[in-house]
Amino acid sequence: MNVEMLAARSGVTVRNIRAYQTAGLLPPPRLQGRLGLYDAEHLGKLELIRELRQQGFGLDAIREMLAHTPDGAWPEYSLVSHLFSKSFFTVEPAQRKAIAEMATHWGKTASAAQKERLAQNGLYRPIGDDAVEMLSPSLERIGIQLAELGVSLDTVLDLQDELIRHTRSIAKTYVEQLFLGLIQTVTRGKEGAADASVTLDAELISQLRALFERLRPLAIGSVSAAFPVVLQQEFDRGIQKRLKQRKKSR
């Protein structure tokens, strides 16, 4: 394939393909005269990079992952990313909602800046110009209950932004150290050599899916298990801090 064909098949622009090559994420093409030619390995690696970028990984993190992935395994790793992306880790279906309705529980219309935050914070997938898919309806219901308690929309948005920022960091750690690491362990174990080209047959795909099915609730449950303990600790620290400040002000 030439670079235009590679871009069309991968869904990645020619400009980004060149940028990934410059960044060392994608090997250079094989030259035929002045024409650069790309093959299935380039395509598989590029599809994997695209998936990881969509999941929020930076170029440095992706470079580290690619450096520890067996040579020749890119099409198979791309297949794995499709098997376990989009909805594998979600626990509830998305719900559609008009952007204009997203602040009605606060008794007002959201400002342009608030609508932008609602549409861009990662919990909502834009659908056209006037609607979104709520990727976590349960979290929106919590926001509604906070509105009923008198918590302002800006405060709820601040809480959501912090929640996303910290949980995304936790999720990246789980993906990099657990899920991708286990894919590497399973595939290497099948071939018996670290540099072998991996073939994902039906048996291996089934093995990976069964493993991830067991890991999914453990990863999600670990966050739920740790948060109440940490919340209590931070509440106690916060109270003690306020008491010390009050004593100093007297």
Q: 164-198 pLDDT, tens per residue? A: 889 989 988 888 888 877 877 776 655 544 444 45
Q: Which residue has the tokens 């449950």?
A: 221
pLDDT, tens only, 51-79: 777 766 778 877 877 776 666 666 666 66
- C-alpha to C-alpha distances, 40 to 13, 75, 152, 209, 250, nearest whole angstrom: 17, 7, 52, 24, 72
Of these ranges, 28-42, 94-108, 112-126, 174-188, the one predicted with the greatest mean pLDDT is: 28-42
- pLDDT reported for residue 221: 92
- H or E stretch including 48? helix 40-54
- pTM for this predicted structure: 0.63
Is the domain defined by 3-88+163-249 classed in CATH 1.10.1660.10? yes
Averaged pLDDT of the chain: 81
- Which residues of the chain form CATH 1.10.1660.10? 3-88+163-249
Query: Is the model more confident about 246 or about 181?
Result: 246
